[in-house]
Chain A
Amino acid sequence: MRIPYHCRRVPVSPGATQTRAVYYPWVPVRVRRDEQTTPRMLLLVDSGADFCVLKSEIGAALGITDIRAGEPCQLRGLGRATVNSWFHDVEVEFEGRVFPSRFAFTSEALPIPGMLGRKGFFDQFKSVSFDEKNRVVTLKV
């Protein structure tokens, strides 16, 4: 499966009318839990993420009314900040395949809705590779 990076245009500087294109390795997935499912949404394919992460507002739409009922986990990135999250079992639908996964849900303010990390997404594929020159992520089953 070859998925082109998603392109969006941003101002070249704050307030500028001129824009430039930036590209993200976002892929369209649905997340399911019981009878609930999301529309297809673009999530970041992040080789630096140990786990898959989603915002709690999406969890609520999937019927997870109390995210703290799951197994707790503290997520860390650069810097000292930690993000409190809780694991819940879900299913992921991607390019016609459905597989079980486990996402960490958080109510803290993330700049993106979520990400697809190594456990729960990358481990479902034989390989995941990024072609930065051609802006394509390739996933082999």
Chain B
Amino acid sequence: MPEKKNDETTAIRAGSWVAHESNRPNKVVAVAPTYEAVVRKLEAAGKTDSVVLFQVPPRNCALIL
């Protein structure tokens, strides 16, 4: 059975939702594959007001929208 990963070992991939501390972009607080999952983690940790979320865009993807 695959080992269950915790927050600290969750890999950041293209499409991952990442929450970092508001004034410290290098300080990652939570990572999850979906918006709902990362918000759930933040709510559990009581950190929804002290972070900034972003979703990692695909690698080598030029954004022309």
Taking beta carbons and an 8 Å cutoff, which residues of A are in contact with B?
6-8, 10-11, 14, 24, 26, 28, 38-42, 44, 46, 48-49, 55, 57-58, 60-61, 77-78, 111-113, 115
State whether B53 touches A41 (Cβ < 8 A). yes
Contact present for A111 and B52 (CB under 8 Å) = no
> How many B residues face the partner with a CB closer than 8 A?
24
User: Are A39 and B51 in contact (CB-based, < 8 A)?
Assistant: yes
B62 to chain A minimum Cβ distance, whole angstroms, is: 10
Q: Which of B34-52 contact A (CB under 8 A)?
A: 34-36, 39, 42, 48-49, 51-52
A41-B53, A42-B54, A113-B55 known; A57-B65 Cβ under 8 A: no
A42 to B35, CA, bound (A): 13
Bound state CA distance, A61 and B36, in angstroms? 7
A-B pairs with beta carbons under 8 Å apart, 25 shown: A6-B25, A6-B54, A7-B25, A10-B59, A24-B63, A26-B54, A28-B52, A38-B39, A39-B39, A39-B48, A39-B51, A40-B52, A42-B52, A42-B54, A48-B65, A49-B65, A57-B34, A57-B35, A61-B35, A61-B39, A77-B64, A111-B57, A111-B58, A113-B35, A113-B54
